[in-house]
Amino acid sequence: MVRVGVTGHTNISPASVDLVYEALLAAIKQVCRERTPHGVTCLAPGADQLFARAVLAAHGTYEVILPAPDYRSRCCTPAQVPEFDELMARAAEVRHTGFARSGRAAYAAANATMLGRSECLIAVWDGGPARGLGGTAEVVAAARQRGLPVRVVWPAGSRRE
């Protein structure tokens, strides 16, 4: 089993979803080779949820690190709730950071927990700077600082909304 963490953009354009999903699936297969993937994700909309689906397609499992109990209502629009709930139900394990409310500090704690439970990181990242505490660029930098291998996935033609 290979423990693979994920970070990435939440605002992947609808036209980019299939491109990013296929790139994630290929990256998971390359990182894990013949071993079973075990994903570690915060299950945010966008990259994290595409990653969870790709891990399942690669016959793996995943665990979810929730920043806080209110995360679902804070991270998901009403239209995104059914997918979040479905993927939560399919998680092998759910962990919590201990924060009472979602916010940048809780997101940063969830990302730190995710990195601590991962052997490598896949980043769905366009290479741009972080937009705040816990942003993709910041998580990539923290992973590199820890010495974790990082694979950046951003297929040609991908866009953010």
Q: Kindly list the domain boundaries of the chain, sorted by start residue.
A: 2-153
Q: What is the DSSP letter of 35?
A: S
Would you identify the CATH topology of the domain 2-153? Rossmann fold (3.40.50)
- Please say if the pLDDT value at position 132 is more than 70: no
Strand positions, DSSP E, 9-159:
37-41, 61-66, 93-96, 120-124, 150-153
pLDDT in tens, 22-70: 999 999 999 999 999 999 999 999 999 999 999 999 999 999 999 999 9
**H or E segment to which residue 2 belongs:** strand 2-8
To the nearest whole number, what is the mean pLDDT of the chain? 95
pLDDT value for 130: 76
Distance CA 62, CA 8 (A): 16
Distance CA 45, CA 47 (A): 7
133: which 2 tokens? 């505490």
Q: Name every residue whose Cβ is closer than 8 Å to that of residue 77 and which is 6 or more positions away in sequence.
A: 45
What average pLDDT score do residues 122-147 get?
Answer: 90
